[in-house]
Amino acid sequence: ETGVTQTPRHLVMGMTNKKSLKCEQHLGHNAMYWYKQSAKKPLELMFVYNFKEQTENNSVPSRFSPECPNSSHLFLHLHTLQPEDSALYLCASSQEGSVRGYGYTFGSGTRLTVV
Amino acid sequence: AQTVTQSQPEMSVQEAETVTLSCTYDTSESDYYLFWYKQPPSRQMILVIRQEAYKQQNATENRFSVNFQKAAKSFSLKISDSQLGDAAMYFCAYRSAWGRDDKIIFGKGTRLHILP
């Protein structure tokens, strides 16, 4: 499989549940990102990982917990979410360094609904 | 900090016609990259076209071309011979070429409708 793969594609969870989103990239990239996309709001960068190290956390609530065990995998662990956390969660990867001009490669996202 | 502005939340175009999506950005840098991404209903963001700021020649990719005006900090996307499959959300984006902050900065997007 090529590109960036996100699972699950859809997720419905209660506010007391714990679930995880998974992202996997097969491009040999060394940076990975989580974005939140809500209706009528711009893309919100949540977390950035470079070479497995978290380099950015944009004031994301602690009910979102990222994990990057290696450069190919990225997880977003969810617990005690709120209805306003319902959104499309996008994962992206990139090759940092001198090849910034190639941009990001995105996955198809996980549509999360919190009930 | 850099910003990207897309002033047209929605646009419509007749099939086979040409449409131009606007984008302006603000930066004090001289070297950077600009992108247009497409997000169809399938949700995956796809890179449509990219421009390197140090190149004066406008980028083209088949029916997609840009009008890059560096002095005006403008980067519009022209879609020729519009097709139904072009219906999507389009995001303009900026990325520094150098320095520690290498995140891509996205505009709010323009939703493009194609009328049959």
A32-91 residue pLDDT tens: 999 999 987 789 999 999 887 888 888 899 999 999 999 899 999 999 999 999 999 999
Residue with tokens 């897309």: B6
Whole-angstrom distance, CA of residue B66 vs CA of residue B61: 9
Q: What is the pLDDT of residue A97?
A: 66
Kindly report the average pLDDT of chain B as a whole number: 94
- In this prediction, residues A85-112 reach a mean pLDDT of 89
pLDDT of A98 reads 60
Contact B45/A48, CB-based, under 8 Å? no
pLDDT for position A40: 72
Q: What is the pLDDT along chain B (116 residues), one digit of tens a residue?
A: 889 999 999 999 999 999 999 999 999 999 999 999 999 988 899 999 999 999 989 999 999 999 999 999 999 999 999 999 999 999 999 999 887 777 899 999 999 999 99
Cis peptide before A61 (omega within 30 of 0): no
Decide if A100 and B42 are in contact by the 8 Å CB cutoff: no
pLDDT, mean of residues A15-32:
93
Rg (CA), chain B: 14
Cβ of B45 within 8 Å of Cβ of A45? The answer is no
Contact A105, A74 (CB under 8 A): no
Instruction: Please give the order of strands across the beta sheet that includes A4-7.
Output: A4-7, A18-25, A73-79, A64-70
pLDDT score recorded for residue B17: 98
The tokens for B86 are 């072009």
Given the DSSP bridges, would you call strands B10-14 and B110-115 parallel, antiparallel or unpaired? parallel
Question: Has residue A106 got a pLDDT over 90?
Answer: yes
Contact (CB<8Å) B103/A48: yes
End-to-end CA distance of chain B: 41
The pLDDT value given to residue B42? 81
Q: Which residues pair with B6 in a beta bridge?
A: none
Q: Which residues pair with B77 in a beta bridge?
A: B21, B66
Please give the pLDDT value at position A18. 94
Cβ-Cβ contacts under 8 Å, A42 against chain B: 106-109
Of A44, A87, A82, A37, nearest to A62 by C-alpha is: A82
Instruction: With beta carbons under 8 A apart, name residues in chain B contacting A49.
Output: none
- Asked if B21 contacts B107 with a C-beta cutoff of 8 angstroms, the reply is no
Phi, psi of A92 (to 5 degrees): -140, 160
Strand bridging mode B46-52 / B60-61? unpaired
pLDDT for the residue numbered A53: 81
A112, A87 contact by CB (below 8 A): yes
B interface with A, Cβ–Cβ < 8 A, is 33, 35, 37, 42-47, 50, 52, 91, 93, 95-97, 102-104, 106-109
Task: Round the CA-based radius of gyration of chain A to a whole number and report it.
Answer: 14
